[in-house]
A and B are shown apart, each in its own frame.
Chain A
Amino acid sequence: DAKTTQPTSMDCAEGRAANLPCNHSTISGNEYVYWYRQIHSQGPQYIIHGLKNNETNEMASLIITEDRKSSTLILPHATLRDTAVYYCIAETGANNLFFGTGTRLTVIP
């Protein structure tokens, strides 16, 4: 399974778009990119996933580069409740998730 690299921390102003990058240069053709987030003291929450096309749902958008070596999670209008650790995961069956250290996003009022 491909390893992912994420910045340790990021800040974002409330109401602005939060763009969280993830590098997965060794990703293989059948590995999906998954994003989860974990708010303090809670279990991780699934956000979105994709294979090679950009994806959007009610929570976020996922932009995957054409070579699939990196992706960006976009929270279009960040709120204080979006403050969390965000994990980018590259997995095949996704039944053995390797979470890594993630990015701690702090939304600032």
Chain B
Amino acid sequence: AQRVTQPEKLLSVFKGAPVELKCNYSYSGSPELFWYVQYSRQRLQLLLRHISRESIKGFTADLNKGETSFHLKKPFAQEEDSAMYYCALMDSGGSNYKLTFGKGTLLTVNP
């Protein structure tokens, strides 16, 4: 069975500090990994996906198959980054495109 683990429920950093939100996954197939973000009073939205290999709002995430991790990083956190972040996994070999989410990490960036 596939599983996504986000070990930190809460993460608090100061503005300008580096931030890393951890995500580990368990899946025997070929996974596709995503980070979703939910800002206060807004709907869940895609932040980035590993196959795009892009940086969105200064965030990057690298898929490490050896460590089964997909940690989200940003070198200098901003107050507007405060939000709930969910890591999600999809079976890239299937066609249902359903996602398995982690429990989420609430990031607070303090001034």
- A complexed with B: no
